[in-house]
Every structure is written in C-alpha cells, then in structure tokens.
Structure 1
Amino acid sequence: MATSVLFLLRPGETSAWHRVRSPELWIWQGGGPARVTLGGTGTGPTETETVTLGPGGQHLVAAGEWQSAVPADPDRATLVACIVSPGFDFADFSLAES
C-alpha cells in the first residue's frame, strides 16, 4: 500500500529537512519548478545533490535519505505530489534539528 499527498510550497516557504524510512517519489504537478535538495543518510543532513523538477519531472528519494524542498522560482508557488510506499507513517518520519 502507498500513500500520496499534494504539497503546495508558496514563495518563501521551505519543506524542512526530513527523512522517511521508505522511498519517497516527488512528482511535479504545477506552478513553478520545485528544487529538491538531498542530504545523505547520516545522522543529520549534509547537502549532496539538488534536483529541479518542472513539467514531467519526478525524482525518487531513497529510503532514509534526508530531503528538503523550495520553489525554484522565488516568485512562483510550486505543487508536487509525494508518494511513499509502503505507506507513510509518522513513526517512520524524522525531522532534522534546526
């Protein structure tokens, strides 16, 4: 079983560094492009790669990999779908310390 959410990031908003125990598929849905930053699998995020998602764009984040996202265009919101399989459970979610 998988879970899916639509996630809107408005200009100036950030999806904080987080990770989930299962792989997470990011799929661009509309608006401006999204910038997804990956942070490795250590105890805290260390930026390793940045992926920009626009029309038709998708990226699979490995299980346990830190991730963060922002609108790539500071003046436009972006809408993405995030799919986790097996399904998302808050018990499998970690938020990085600020």
Structure 2
Amino acid sequence: MNPYCSDYYKPDALAKTYEIPMVPMPDKKDWSDPKHVVAETVYPPRYRRSSGRPRKRRRKNADEKISVNTNCCGQCGQEGHNRRTCTFYPKEK
C-alpha cells in the first residue's frame, strides 16, 4: 500500500478491531435497576427560565434625586460645553 496511508486504514487493523466478539445489550426488561433509583421520583422543573436579559428589579423611590449629568469641559472645567467647543482657551496651530 501507499507509505503515506495510516496503519488505521489498513486491512490488518480492521481485522484486529473486530476480532473481539461484541456482545449485544440485553433487552430493556432484563435490565436490573438499583432499589434506591427506582424508589426516587423525578419531578419536572418548577419554572422555565425566560430568555433574554432580565428586567431591572430596582425601583427608585419618589424622594430619590435624579442625577442630571451636564457636559463639563476638560480644559477650563466649566459646565455646558466640551473641550472641542471651548472658547476660553484659544486653539494652538
């Protein structure tokens, strides 16, 4: 045979694989189940987990302050604009 062929694909390996006799499993009614397994009852799950991201469970109180974030400039530190639209410091070219 071809020297590049693996030994697993040669007829000798196939014969060695099946030289051990294979015993089929007995019928299902002949199986022996342990007593503690037969006595145990298995119930289905209590609930099904819903798909997707879970909803936010925390509800904010009426007296809880809502935080309002305003833009703050990185150069001058004033609120209401950002560094790109800042007119306090002139841009260097």
TM range (shorter): under 0.3
Q: Give the structure with the larger helix fraction.
A: 2
Q: Give the structure with the larger strand fraction.
A: 1
TM-score of the aligned structures, taking structure 2 as reference length: 0.16
Q: Which one scores higher on RCO, CA 8 angstroms, separation ≥ 6? A: 1
